[in-house]
């Protein structure tokens, strides 16, 4: 390919946003589905760097996959070896420095770069490769996963943000294949009760399509608490806390759900997501700036709260989503560890840095 040939739309348009078609030209992005690439494109921007500048003195390349979109970039490898990479060439299809580390870089002409976080890219590639394998492995109808779902295109339930920050972000890679296999897909009718208040916890649910109403009996009157939409999860509190269902969830429309049995939920999601620490470790976290969250009722909290703790009862923890600092660490506790385990899971599921005080206040020495 001749140097300077424009093969990407942005080389003509000089747009600030990256297109799906552009990303398809790069490796190892090309095997990703259009749905995945669209998510990735929404997170990418084109970076312009002037002639004679080293782009990586301005912004480090560490922890990133950086692609040369346009222009000419000279790379020095040491011992007098160097090369010029040209945007649009075969070499430019691969991230700079991944196949061969360089010492310095210099823009021969003005260049345009695209940067992608390495961890984010690795998460996407891992999930998508497992999903593709899962689909390809089901050659016969009898061999297809119980879910019957096309995991490779389910960007709503398994979108980038959920894989990076949500319930699946700390899932060990070895668990991914099993998780996809064990989800069961069910169809639901409008008005159908999925879980009933007071019943035993049996499944963890992800709403694939449709809408659900969440209600709870208060003083003999049913009160609407929330409406769930596609991509939302529910049913985890009773499983984590080993308690009865605390609300009723009813389909407002027809829809489909994915469900995971209690046993599979505990083995594949609960344990990886909950990070338990003892009181001594919790003290050190608090000294380092972590904040205590007491998830008991106010009547319990006001008499024996830990110094500096804030009170967010388990029943109100969902209202704290968005209000708590996503960059801060939290240590969650209750009396026994049961309620705080449920709260910690709910917070961790949404990307918060949260630790569970093992055994609660009954499980170890109190702070002075």
C-alpha span between 248 and 228 (Å, rounded): 12
Confidence label for 368 from pLDDT (cuts 50, 70 and 90): very low
Fold agreement between 10-120 and 138-269? yes
For residue 12, the surrounding DSSP H or E stretch is: helix 10-13
Confidence label for 214 from pLDDT (cuts 50, 70 and 90): very high
| In the predicted structure, residue 351 carries a pLDDT above the cut 90 | no
Q: pLDDT at position 199, please?
A: 93
Q: What is the dihedral of CA 230, 351, 333, 360, to 10 degrees?
A: 90
Which of 118, 120, 127 has its CA nearest to residue 97? 118
* pLDDT greater at residue 141 or residue 93: 93
- CA angle (174, 38, 133) in 5-degree steps: 30
The overall average pLDDT reported for the chain is 82
Which of 346, 343, 339 has its CA nearest to residue 361? 339
| In the predicted structure, residue 159 carries a pLDDT above the cut 80 | no
CB 4 within 8 A of CB 106: no
Grouping H, G, I as helix, E, B as strand and the rest as coil, residue 308 is coil
For residues 351-364, average pLDDT: 86
pLDDT tens digits, 106-155: 999 999 999 998 888 887 777 776 665 555 554 444 444 444 455 544 54
C-alpha span between 130 and 135 (Å, rounded): 9
pTM: 0.57
Q: How many residues does the chain have?
A: 368
User: Could you tell me the strand order of the sheet in which 221-228 lies?
Assistant: 193-195, 248-251, 212-218, 221-228
C-alpha span between 161 and 28 (Å, rounded): 20
pLDDT tens digits, 19-64: 889 999 999 988 887 878 888 888 888 999 999 999 998 788 888 9
Confidence label for 304 from pLDDT (cuts 50, 70 and 90): confident
pLDDT tens digits, 235-272: 988 888 888 898 999 999 999 998 999 988 888 877 77
10-120: CATH topology: Jelly Rolls (2.60.120)
Q: pLDDT at position 323, please?
A: 92
Which of 242, 231, 220 has its CA nearest to residue 341? 242
The CATH number that domain 138-269 falls under is 2.60.120.10
Residues with catalytic annotation?
334
Strand 72-78 and strand 310-311: the pairing is unpaired
Please report the sign of the dihedral spanned by the C-alpha atoms of residue 189, residue 195, residue 196, residue 197: negative
The CATH superfamily holding the domain 274-362 is: Rhodanese-like domain (3.40.250.10)
In which residue are the tokens 């080993």 written?
Answer: 242
Residue ranges per structural domain of the chain: 10-120, 138-269, 274-362
């Amino acid at each position: 390919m001749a140097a300077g040939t424009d093969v990407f739309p942005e080389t003509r348009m000089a747009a600030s946003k990256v297109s799906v078609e552009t990303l398809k030209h790069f490796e190892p992005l090309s095997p990703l589905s259009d749905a995945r690439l669209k998510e990735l494109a929404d997170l990418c921007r084109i970076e312009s760097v002037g002639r004679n500048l080293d782009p990586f003195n301005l912004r480090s390349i560490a922890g990133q996959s950086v692609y040369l979109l346009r222009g000419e970039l000279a790379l020095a490898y040491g011992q007098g070896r160097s090369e010029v990479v040209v945007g649009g060439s075969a070499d430019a299809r691969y991230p700079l420095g991944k196949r061969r580390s360089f010492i310095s870089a210099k823009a021969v002409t003005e260049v345009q770069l695209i940067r992608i976080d390495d961890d984010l890219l690795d998460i996407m590639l891992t999930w998508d490769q497992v999903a593709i394998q899962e689909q390809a492995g089901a050659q016969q109808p009898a061999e297809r996963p119980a879910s019957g779902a096309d995991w490779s295109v389910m960007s709503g339930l398994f979108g980038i943000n959920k894989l990076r920050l949500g319930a699946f972000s700390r899932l060990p890679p070895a668990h991914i294949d099993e998780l996809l296999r064990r989800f069961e897909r069910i169809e639901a009718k409008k008005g159908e009760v999925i879980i009933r208040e007071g019943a035993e916890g049996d499944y963890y649910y992800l709403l694939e399509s449709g809408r659900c109403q969440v209600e709870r009996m208060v003083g003999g009157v049913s009160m609407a608490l929330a409406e769930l939409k596609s991509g939302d999860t529910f049913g985890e509190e009773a499983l984590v806390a080993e308690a009865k269902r605390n609300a009723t969830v009813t389909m407002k429309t027809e829809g489909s759900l994915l469900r995971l049995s209690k046993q599979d939920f505990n083995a594949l999601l609960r344990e990886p997501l909950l990070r338990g620490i003892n009181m001594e470790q919790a003290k050190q976290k608090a000294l380092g700036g972590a904040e205590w969250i007491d998830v008991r009722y106010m009547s319990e909290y006001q008499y024996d709260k830990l110094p500096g703790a804030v009170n967010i009862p388990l029943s109100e923890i969902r209202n704290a989503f968005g209000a708590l600092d996503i960059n801060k660490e939290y240590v969650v506790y209750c009396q026994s560890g049961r309620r705080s385990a449920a709260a910690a899971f709910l917070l961790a599921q949404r990307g918060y840095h949260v630790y569970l005080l093992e055994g609660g206040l009954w499980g170890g020495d109190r702070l002075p």
